[in-house]
Amino acid sequence: MIVTCVHVSVKPENVDDFIKASTINHENSVKEPGNLRFDLLQLAENGTRFLLYEAYESEEAAAAHKDTSHYKTWRETVAPYMAEDRKGVRYNIVTPASKAGWGK
């Protein structure tokens, strides 16, 4: 099981657009069979910065996400909203150690 934290900085005028597009992406991503979490968070001290917390049960499931139409639509839609390049940070999961612990 792996987690990718995607750090996003959005142009101030596109914050609402980004939330709208990312909410659609969230709604579809959590339905993927290998998805464990797909949380969208907004930095408390700076509303133009977001964190996508994406947990998948395997490398294959994480890779499959990037092949979905909802991911591709999101990527194209949000491209003009980015204030800087997104940065993905990969983590290995220590706990919950079992898939059941992730509520799946």
Q: Which residues bind its own copies (CB under 8 A)?
A: 2-3, 5, 19, 22-23, 26-27, 30, 37-45, 50-51, 53, 55, 89-96, 101, 103
**CB of 4: closest distance to its own copies in angstroms?**
9
Q: Residue 99's CB: how many other CB atoms inside 10 A?
A: 12
CA distance 21 to 73: 9
CA distance 65 to 71: 7
CB of 23 or CB of 58, closer to its own copies: 23
**CB of 23: closest distance to its own copies in angstroms?**
5
Identity of the residue numbered 2: I
The kind and range of the H/E element at 54 are strand 49-56
**CB of 67: closest distance to its own copies in angstroms?**
21
CB of 45 or CB of 85, closer to its own copies: 45
Instruction: State whether residue 63 is helix, strand or coil.
Output: helix
CB of 64 or CB of 93, closer to its own copies: 93
**CB of 27: closest distance to its own copies in angstroms?**
8
Cis peptide before 33 (omega within 30 of 0): no
